Chains A and B, each alone.
Chain A
Amino acid sequence: MNADELKTALEAEGAKVTYDQKRKVFDVFVQDPSRIKQVARKMLELGLDHVVSVTGVDYPDRIEVIWHASSYSVDSLEGLVVALRTPISKGPPRQAYDPRTRTYGPARPPLPVDSLTDVWPSALFLEREAHEMFGIEFRGHPDLRPILLSDDFYGKWPLRKDFTYDKSELKVA
């Protein structure tokens, strides 16, 4: 199994794959979020056996969830990091900025997407981090408590573009 065979196998699953050998970019884009688990299972089958990072990107119209998977067990895939991306809808647009409360309206609920922890157990803590930073609700994750931030920031999703906060609300003691 090398990178080109990986590309053809994943394209058969219906994903949009771009591979640039020179820049070592391997990108798997899945348009339909409900198919993400199926593509991930295929990737696990092909030898990508662990997740190295889970993150999100906040675009104006969508949030993309990105799992970076890599391989320990297949020698020919050494050094390759495969980005598995899927867009999720942001729901209603944010409200106008309110200078009185210094926020963009009330906190918005987390956005649902399938958790890949049952495919790759190494995504457990990484998905918890992406959950508290971007407000992505990983359905099927066994334990979605906040992991790094203090409880003050839960529900505010600090790494989203519309994040604001009032420092005077926070107290040390």
Chain B
Amino acid sequence: MADGEGLIFLGNLEEVAKKSLEYLKKKEPITKMVSWGVNFSLWPVHLMTSCCGAEFAAAASPRFDLERLGFLPFGGPRQTNLIVVEGTTTWKMARVVRRVYDQMPAPKWVIAMGACAMDGGIFWDSYNIVVARDYLPVDVYVPGCPPRPEALARGVMMLKEKIDRERSNLIPSEQR
């Protein structure tokens, strides 16, 4: 019997409130609302690692306007929940990306954009290249060299679907 499901709460009111809160966090109307809210506030951190950043900028600008999907590039990592690895990362840059990722508050997601972030692209044999999955938990891969802004938009849509699919884990349960 998980999380007090099926119990009748009597007596200690504080305990009852806590348990019912934990119960409701996993249940339909609450998770749906939270998922809807998160879906339309996917704020990526503005960190340009490589040349795919030009396509990223085009995707966020008026012609393609990903802000209508809630995709608003943000300056500081503390206010963001999405990181887009834009193309190839060297060992030196990968450490910076990892540090930015660690500064972002949970829940957070990762999009690996471009062939270089997926498997190295034209630099697949280079000593100085590290691919995104080696240092970040990647949610969505966007192929292309570079991907067009529409491709990035599709990646964002897929990420939104994924967030909605896994919405029961969106609110972290309280540590006791």
Among A151-168, those with CB < 8 Å from B are 152-153, 158, 163, 165
Contact status B98-A172, CB under 8 Å: yes
Contact status A150-B127, CB under 8 Å: no
Contact status A153-B95, CB under 8 Å: no
Task: Output the least CB separation between A147 and chain B (Å).
Answer: 11
B residues less than 8 Å from A149 (CB atoms): 91-92, 128
Instruction: Say yes or no: A150-B90 contact (C-beta < 8 A), given A165-B127, A173-B98.
Output: yes
Chain B, residue nearest A146 (CB)? B92
B residues less than 8 Å from A163 (CB atoms): 127
A residues less than 8 Å from B102 (CB atoms): 173
Q: How many A-B residue contacts, CB cutoff 8 Å? A: 28
Contact of A12 with B by CB under 8 A: no
Within 8 Å by CB of A173, from B92, B127, B128, B135, lies: B135
With the chains together, A84 CA to B114 CA distance in Å?
Answer: 40
Instruction: Say yes or no: A153-B128 contact (C-beta < 8 A), given A172-B134, A172-B135, A173-B135.
Output: yes
Task: Output the least CB separation between B96 and chain A (Å).
Answer: 10
A residues less than 8 Å from B135 (CB atoms): 172-173
Among B79-121, those with CB < 8 Å from A are 90-92, 94-95, 98-99, 102
B residues less than 8 Å from A1 (CB atoms): none
B residues less than 8 Å from A96 (CB atoms): none
With the chains together, A165 CA to B128 CA distance in Å?
Answer: 10
With the chains together, A149 CA to B91 CA distance in Å?
Answer: 8
Chain A, residue nearest B90 (CB)? A150
- Residues of B near any A CB (own CB < 8 A): 90-92, 94-95, 98-99, 102, 127-128, 130, 134-135
Question: How big is the A interface, by class?
Answer: 10 to 19
B residues less than 8 Å from A152 (CB atoms): 91
Greatest chain B CB density within 10 A among A149, A152, A172, A173 is at A172
The 0/1 profile, CB within 8 Å of B marked 1, for residues 84-99 of chain A is: 0000000000000000
Chain B, residue nearest A151 (CB)? B92
Task: Output the least CB separation between A161 and chain B (Å).
Answer: 13
Task: Output the least CB separation between B97 and chain A (Å).
Answer: 8
Chain B, residue nearest A173 (CB)? B98
With A149-B91, A172-B94, A172-B134 known, 16 other A-B pairs at CB within 8 A are: A149-B128, A152-B91, A153-B127, A153-B128, A158-B127, A158-B128, A163-B127, A165-B127, A170-B91, A170-B130, A172-B91, A172-B95, A172-B130, A172-B135, A173-B95, A173-B99
Contact status B98-A150, CB under 8 Å: no
With the chains together, A68 CA to B94 CA distance in Å?
Answer: 33
With the chains together, A149 CA to B128 CA distance in Å?
Answer: 8
Chain A, residue nearest B128 (CB)? A149
A residues less than 8 Å from B90 (CB atoms): 150
With the chains together, A173 CA to B91 CA distance in Å?
Answer: 10
Chain A, residue nearest B92 (CB)? A150
With the chains together, A64 CA to B90 CA distance in Å?
Answer: 27
Chain A, residue nearest B99 (CB)? A173
Q: Which 5 A-B pairs have the closest CB atoms?
A: A172-B135, A150-B92, A150-B91, A173-B98, A172-B94
Task: Output the least CB separation between B90 and chain A (Å).
Answer: 7
Task: Output the least CB separation between B122 and chain A (Å).
Answer: 17
